[in-house]
Amino acid sequence: MKNLVIFFQVSLLVLVLHGTGLQNTLSAQPANHSGIQATRVVEDGGSGAYKAIMYTDGSLQTHTIFRPNELSVFGENNKLPIIAWGNGACANSPWEHINFLSEVASHGFLVIAIGPMPEEGERGGGRSSASQLLDAVDWAIAQNSDQSSPLYNKIDITEIAVSGMSCGGLQTLEVAPDPRVTTAVICNSGIIGNGGGMPGMPALTKDHLEKLHTPTLYLLGGETDIAYNNGMDDYNRINHVPVFVANMDVGHGGTYRQPHGGEFAVVATAWYKWQLKGDQEAGKLFSGDPSGLSGSSVWTVEKKNMP
């Protein structure tokens, strides 16, 4: 417990310090108050069927958006589910997760991460709040009904995931009771004791888990993950909704910065496809007895209240 709190304190301090520097120049469109501003392609745009871009929108400068670049294929019969993302250390920047988030988006999702878009090489900092996850959801819903938006009528506002890593996982748990949410993904995280942690972290208690109302996925980094005990304790306490926990022995940092987000992106994307798109083939990774993922050489899994 003490080590986890110290970890978050150090992580937050480092992010705050980095947030004041490492500002590299990025070629961008002139700033305005609406529409796409700066854009980047992360890696090769992802391995999915829809090459993704990362960008800032003038109407949501507090967040970073990842989505397929070509939107003409999306419409009434093929819409983009919404995924809101909270960052490690509750940082106000997704810089650590851009490979992972771009990869997910390339499979046909609208991913909105807390924090302005990081410039090339920038390690953004600052602090964020759980409410910014719901700001992302609100923005996406509004874009879907805005005839001037390139996302007009292309978003599935009935399929919404909240997700996050480490402190961002706590933010995810905080907002997961929102009735609009259809699934939650908690990465390298879990509620710390009985409202423990440092100031600025969501001070959740274990009884908060009773408010979850959707299928929930925990992705943890094995016993060397500083959040392992908290995440596994959450899993053991959740008995009223479908819940799946997968551990890969990589520690707290996961695989987010690996090419295409590594194994964490593979598993998370399959979950999103299953839960948000009804993709039964992707769902085979989690369904069945044993589940498909149980046959992996790098993952160990448990599940409850699931087929």
DSSP annotation of 231 reads H
What's the pLDDT tens digit per position in 60-76? Answer: 999 999 999 999 999 99
What's the pLDDT tens digit per position in 287-307? Answer: 999 999 999 999 999 999 999
Residue 192 has a pLDDT of 93
Residue 5 has a pLDDT of 43
What's the pLDDT tens digit per position in 5-27? Answer: 444 443 443 333 333 332 322 22
Residue 19 has a pLDDT of 37
Residue 298: give the domain boundaries. 2-17+34-304
* 22 domain residue, yes or no: no
**At 235, is the secondary structure helix, strand, or coil?**
helix
CATH code assigned at 201: 3.40.50.1820
Please give the tally of structural domains in the chain: 1
Sign of CA dihedral 303, 160, 104, 119: negative
* 102 domain residue, yes or no: yes
* 148 domain residue, yes or no: yes
* 121 domain residue, yes or no: yes
What is the separation, in whole angstroms, between the first and last Cα of the chain? 34
| Mean per-residue pLDDT, 157-163 | 98
* 25 domain residue, yes or no: no
Residues 293, 299: contact at Cβ < 8 Å?
Answer: yes
* 251 domain residue, yes or no: yes
What's the pLDDT tens digit per position in 102-118? Answer: 999 999 999 999 999 99
**Average pLDDT value for the chain:** 90
* 117 domain residue, yes or no: yes
What is the DSSP annotation of 161-227? Answer: EEEEETHHHHHHHHHTTSTT--EEEEES----TTT-S-TTS----GGGGGG--S-EEEEE--TTSTT
Residue 196 has a pLDDT of 65
Residue 34 has a pLDDT of 63
Percent of the chain with pLDDT over 90: 81
* 185 domain residue, yes or no: yes
Percent of the chain with pLDDT over 70: 88
Instruction: Name which of 119-133, 157-171, 239-253 the model is least confident about.
Output: 119-133
